[in-house]
């Protein structure tokens, strides 16, 4: 039976986190990035996530924009790139990341069915508002739920609590969708039915819970029960 509430992670799930580095690398002003952009993008994302986990464990919360900048600084230094203009361009592009091609159709299908849709993200409210506006999907989402409400990053249970608090729904009513295996596991352990969008074909994380479904992309989300 289809769920009544569909909740999506944002970065890497709806929005392509590699898009900023990929686009900047094509611009003549940032030619030095052309050779290094795949590794810069990978390191940027890895450090961005690592810093959220470390801050959550240590109790030193900051907003996601800060860890996004910190992760980029590490990635650029690791690649030997020190141009402030390239850093600034990458950060500007992060506010307008490309949505994956199937995203609008999937959200439109869910909305036509009468389902509620939302983002639940580490991203700050300002970042999420900019992203959905740039991708032209704001009218397909009923809520943008940010960890800033509770002051700790995923996978803390208080973050997943935001869904029930906003929609007044039971855990069984929710399908939670993430491209991050650890996030899908965290949501599964919390009690949501989960779909891990495993675009890279990676192994399942060895954690305390496993995703209910494993999918190659978002296309079949409306068919998942």
For the stretch 45-51, contacts whose Cβ atoms lie closer than 8 Å and that sit 24 or more positions apart, written own/partner, are 45/12, 45/17, 45/18, 45/71, 46/71, 47/71, 47/74, 47/75, 48/72, 49/180
Q: Which of 9, 16, 63, 183 is catalytic?
A: 9
Residue 217 bears catalytic tag: no
Backbone angles phi, psi at 5, to 5 degrees: -130, 125
Q: Across the strands, what pairs with 6? A: 117, 175
User: If 0-12 CB within 10 Å is exposed, 13-18 middle and 19+ buried, where does residue 188 land?
Assistant: buried
How far the first Cα of the chain sits from its last, in Å, is 5
* Residue 205 DSSP symbol: P
Q: What is the separation of C-alpha 137 from the centre of its chain, rounded to a whole number of angstroms?
A: 15
Alpha-carbon distance of 53 to 111, in angstroms, equals 33
Residue spans of alpha helices (H) in 136-171: 157-167
**Active site positions, annotated:** 9
């Amino acid at each position: 039976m289809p769920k009544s509430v569909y909740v999506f992670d944002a970065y890497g799930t709806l929005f392509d986190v590699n898009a900023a580095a990929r686009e900047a690398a094509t611009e003549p002003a940032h030619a030095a990035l052309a050779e290094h952009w795949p590794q810069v993008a990978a390191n940027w994302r890895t450090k961005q996530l690592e810093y959220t986990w470390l801050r959550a464990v240590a109790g030193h919360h900051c907003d996601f924009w800060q860890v996004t900048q910190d992760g980029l600084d590490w990635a650029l230094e690791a690649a030997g790139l020190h141009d402030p203009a390239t850093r600034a361009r990458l950060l500007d592009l992060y506010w307008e990341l490309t949505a994956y091609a199937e995203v609008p159709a999937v959200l439109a299908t869910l909305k036509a069915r009468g389902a509620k849709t939302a983002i639940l993200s580490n991203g700050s409210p300002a970042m999420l508002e900019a992203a959905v506006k740039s991708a032209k999907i704001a009218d397909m989402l009923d809520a943008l739920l940010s960890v800033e409400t509770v002051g700790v990053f995923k996978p803390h249970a208080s973050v997943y609590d935001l869904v029930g608090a906003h929609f007044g729904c039971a855990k069984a009513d929710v399908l939670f969708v993430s491209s991050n295996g650890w996030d899908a596991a965290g949501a599964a352990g919390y009690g949501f039915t989960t779909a891990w969008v495993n675009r890279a074909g990676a192994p399942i994380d060895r954690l305390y819970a496993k995703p209910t479904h494993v999918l190659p992309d978002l296309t079949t989300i409306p068919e998942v029960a």
